[in-house]
C-alpha cells in the first residue's frame, strides 16, 4: 500500500458505543433508502445474484450492516473487517468476521475478490484516506461497486445555514467563555473539537477520494441532512430520523467526554458544555452526511 493507515478513532469500541452505532445504522438506512442507496438497487442485486458473489464491509464496527446484507443476500459470502471483534448475532453461515488493523492494509487474500465493498464513517479516521480507497479498490472485482460514506463535523440551523462553532480557549476561564459565546453554537463547537481530534489532515470529501483514486467510473454523490429532535423540513422519515439523532447525539456527547478530557478540557468546561449541548437539542438543527458510489474500472455497466 502507498501509505500507513493508522486510525485516529477516539471513541470507545465498548458495548455502549456499538449500541450507538447500531442506532445510527437505522438512521443511515432511513436517509439513503435502505442498506445501500436506492438508485443502486438494480445494479447491486444483479451483481449479487451470482453464487460466487461476495461483500466486504471495511471497518464493520458492530457488524450490523454486514450481517443485514448477509441475511438479505444468503448466496453471497459477507466479510466484516475491523480492529475489534464484537459479538455478532444470528449465527449466519455466510457471514465471517476477520480481525485486522487498517494500519497494515487489507489482507492480500482480499485482492480482486469482492463484488461490493462498503466503508462507512471510517475514511476520515485513517491517516491516509486516499490509500484506504485505493486498498479497497484493489479488493473489488472489475465492475464491482464501492459505497463510501461519511459524516461531517459541521451543523446547520433550521434554514440549513452553516452554524458558527463555539471555540474553547484554554487561556480563558470557563465561566467567562460561557458568558461570552456571542451567538456561536456549542453543538457545532463540540463537533469541530472532534474533527480536530479524529479527522486526518489528508482527508478529502468522499467523492473526491473516489475520483482521485483513478480506479472508478460512474461516480455518484449524494448529500443528506438529518434533523435533530424534530422532523426537519421536507425530510423523508424526518420524524423518526429526528428521534434517532436526538438519542444518537446525546450518547455521542457522553461517549466523547473521556477523549475530550484527555485532550485538555477541564471537567468544569465539560459540565458547561454538556448543558449547552443539551439545550441545542431543541434548536431545530441538522447534521449532514455524504455518500458516494462508483464502479471499479473494467466493466461497462452503469450504476
Asked if 132 contacts 119 with a C-beta cutoff of 8 angstroms, the reply is yes
Reading phi first (left if > 0) and then psi (alpha if -120 to 50, else beta), residue 65 is in alpha
145 forms bridges with which residues in the sheet? 116, 295
What are the grid coordinates assigned to 30, written together?
432511513
* Residue 116, C-alpha cell as written in the block: 461490493
Long-range pairs of 92-96 with CB within 8 A, sequence gap ≥ 24: 92/67, 94/70, 95/63, 95/66, 95/67, 95/70
What pTM was computed for the model? 0.91
Q: Which domains does the chain have, with CATH numbers?
A: 15-296 (3.40.50.150)
At residue 135, φ and ψ (nearest 5 deg) are -60, -45
Alpha-helix runs per DSSP H in the chain:
15-32, 41-47, 64-72, 129-139, 174-178, 186-198, 206-213, 238-255, 257-263, 267-280
For residues 213 and 134, the answer to whether their CB atoms sit within 8 Å is: yes
Among 101, 38, 27, smallest CA distance to 64 is for: 27
pLDDT at 6: 52
Give pLDDT tens digits along the chain (303 positions): 334 455 544 444 556 666 777 788 999 999 999 999 999 999 999 999 888 899 999 999 889 999 999 999 999 999 999 998 877 767 899 999 999 999 999 999 999 999 999 999 999 999 999 999 999 999 999 999 999 999 999 999 999 999 999 998 888 899 998 888 888 999 999 999 999 999 999 999 999 999 999 999 999 999 999 999 999 999 999 999 999 999 999 999 999 999 999 999 999 999 999 999 999 999 999 999 999 999 999 864 555
The neighbour count for residue 223, using CB atoms within 10 Å, is 11
Q: What digits encode the pLDDT tens for the residues 188-220?
A: 999 999 999 999 999 999 999 999 999 999 999
Q: How far apart are CA 56 and CA 79, in angstroms?
A: 5
- Measured between alpha carbons, how far is 88 from 104 in angstroms, rounded to an integer? 24
Write the pLDDT tens digit of every residue in 3-12.
445 554 444 4
Residues 6+ apart with CB under 8 A from 187: 155, 163, 249, 276, 277, 280, 281, 283, 285
Amino acid at each position: 500500500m502507498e501509505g500507513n493507515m493508522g486510525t485516529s478513532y477516539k471513541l470507545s469500541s465498548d458495548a455502549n458505543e456499538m449500541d450507538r452505532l447500531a442506532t445510527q445504522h437505522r438512521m443511515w438506512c432511513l436517509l439513503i433508502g435502505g442498506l445501500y442507496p436506492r438508485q443502486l438497487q438494480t445494479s447491486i442485486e444483479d451483481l449479487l445474484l451470482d453464487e460466487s458473489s461476495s461483500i466486504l464491509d471495511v471497518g464493520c464496527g458492530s457488524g450490523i450492516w454486514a450481517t443485514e446484507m448477509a441475511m438479505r443476500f444468503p448466496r453471497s459470502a459477507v466479510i466484516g473487517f475491523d480492529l475489534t471483534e464484537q459479538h455478532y448475532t444470528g449465527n449466519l453461515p455466510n457471514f465471517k468476521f476477520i480481525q485486522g488493523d487498517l494500519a497494515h492494509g487489507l489482507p492480500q487474500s482480499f485482492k480482486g475478490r469482492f463484488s461490493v465493498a462498503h466503508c462507512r464513517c471510517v475514511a476520515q479516521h485513517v491517516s491516509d484516506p486516499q490509500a484506504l480507497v485505493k486498498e479497497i479498490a484493489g479488493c473489488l472485482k472489475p465492475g464491482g461497486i464501492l459505497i463510501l460514506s461519511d459524516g461531517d463535523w459541521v451543523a446547520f440551523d433550521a434554514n440549513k445555514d452553516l452554524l458558527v462553532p463555539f471555540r474553547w480557549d484554554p487561556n480563558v476561564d470557563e465561566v467567562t467563555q460561557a458568558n461570552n459565546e456571542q451567538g456561536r453554537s456549542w453543538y457545532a463547537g463540540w463537533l469541530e473539537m472532534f474533527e480536530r481530534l479524529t479527522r486526518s489532515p489528508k482527508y478529502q470529501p468522499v467523492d473526491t477520494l473516489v475520483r482521485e483514486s483513478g480506479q472508478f467510473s460512474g461516480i455518484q454523490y449524494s448529500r443528506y441532512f438529518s434533523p435533530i429532535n424534530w422532523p426537519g423540513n421536507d425530510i423523508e422519515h424526518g420524524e423518526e430520523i429526528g428521534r434517532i439523532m436526538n438519542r444518537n447525539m446525546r450518547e455521542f456527547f457522553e461517549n466523547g467526554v473521556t477523549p475530550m478530557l484527555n485532550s485538555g478540557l477541564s471537567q468544569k468546561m465539560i459540565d458547561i458544555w454538556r448543558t449547552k449541548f443539551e439545550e441545542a437539542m431543541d434548536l431545530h438543527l441538522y447534521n449532514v452526511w455524504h455518500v458516494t458510489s462508483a464502479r471499479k474500472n473494467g466493466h461497462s455497466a452503469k450504476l
